[in-house]
Amino acid sequence: MAAYDDGYWWSGDNLRLHYRDYPGSDAQPPVICIPGLTRNARDFEGVAARLAGERRVICVDLRGRGESAYAKDPMTYVPLTYAQDLERLIAELALNRFVMIGTSLGGIVSMLLAATGPARVAGVILNDVGPVIEQKGLDRIRGYVGRGSAWPTWVHAARTLGEVNAAVYPDYDLEDWLRMAKQLYKLNAKGRIVPDYDSKIAEPFRLPGGEAGVDLWPAIEAMKTVPLLMIRGALSDILSETTAAEVKKRVKGSKLVTVPETGHTPTLDEPAAARAIDRFLGSLQP
C-alpha cells in the first residue's frame, strides 16, 4: 500500500472531516477520489498505489464515514452538502486545478462540483453513475443501507458480503471478499465487525429523490468542456447502457469503458478500468 498522510478539514457546520493525502508530483493536477454511499477513503487504495508519486492523490471520507465525524442532522447526508464540504477542502488546499474520480454517490458529487466550476476541473472519471439512476439498483441499495449488522469475525463479515453481492462480483473468492470487508467495515469497541459509516446516512437516501436531490442533466450540460471518462460495470443495475450512451453523445469527446463480469460498482482495480484510467489521465492537459 502506498504511503500517505492523514489530513483533516472542517465543514461549514463544524464537523471534522478526514482525507488521505498521497504525495506526488506538482507537475500534474492532483486527483481527488470521492467514494460511494457506504464506502470510504480505503476504497481507493489500489488507485492510489498506481498513481501516487506521479500524481498527488487525495482520498476523502465523506461526513459520516470512515474517520470523518458523524453529522448531528442526518438530513445533511445529501449530495449538495457533500459538495459544499469538498469546496471547503479544495479552498483550504488551494487546489486551482484538479481531476476527480467519483464512485457512485461520489460521482454525483463530482458532477455537481464540475458543473459549478468547470474551468478548474482538468478531468472527471465517473465510476458507474450518471444523471439517471436505475430504480432496480436503488431498491437494492435501500434494502441494505443503514442496517445495523455486526459479525464476530472478519471471515463471517466477508461471507455475508459475498452472499449479498455475489451477482455484483461473480468471480470473487473468499480472499477477495475479505479484502473488501476490511475496506467497508471496522472493529468496534466491543470487538465486533460493523459497517464503517453512520447508519443515519440511510434516512435522506430513502426519501423520494434522496439519491441525488437535483436533476443532474443540467450538470452534464455544464460539463461539456470538461474531459470525461465513464466507467460502467457490464452487470450494473445503477447506470444503464442507454444513459451512458446519452451522456457520451452529449459530451463530445467523452470516453466510455465497460468492465466485464462486474456490477455496481467496479473497484477500479480491474485491468480494463486501470488501463482506461491511465490512458485518460495521460491524455489530460497539465
Structure-block grid coordinates of residue 169: 462480483
Strands of the 255-259 sheet, one edge to the other:
5-10, 16-22, 57-61, 31-34, 98-103, 121-127, 228-233, 255-259
Mean pLDDT over the full length of the chain = 94
Residue 155, H or E segment: helix 154-164
Residue with grid cell 458529487, as numbered in its chain:
109
Phi, psi of 148 (to 5 degrees): -85, 65
Total-model pTM: 0.95
**Distance (Å, rounded) from C-alpha 104 to C-alpha 90?**
20
Structure-block grid coordinates of residue 154: 472478519
Distance between first and last Cα of the chain: 26
Q: According to the model, what pLDDT value does residue 141 have?
A: 83
Structure-block grid coordinates of residue 138: 436503488
What residue segments make up the domains of the chain, in order of their start?
Answer: 5-134+201-283, 147-196
Q: For residue 29, name the pLDDT band (cuts at 50, 70, 90).
A: very high
Q: According to the model, what pLDDT value does residue 143 have?
A: 77
Residue 195, H or E segment: strand 193-195
Q: Tell me: the pLDDT tens digits for 188-222?
A: 999 999 999 999 999 887 766 555 567 899 999 99
Q: According to the model, what pLDDT value does residue 211 have?
A: 56
Residues β-bridged to residue 52: 55
| The CATH number of domain 5-134+201-283 is 3.50.50.60 | no
Q: Tell me: the pLDDT tens digits for 109-159?
A: 999 999 999 999 999 999 999 999 998 998 888 877 877 789 999 999 999
**Distance (Å, rounded) from C-alpha 81 to C-alpha 269?**
29
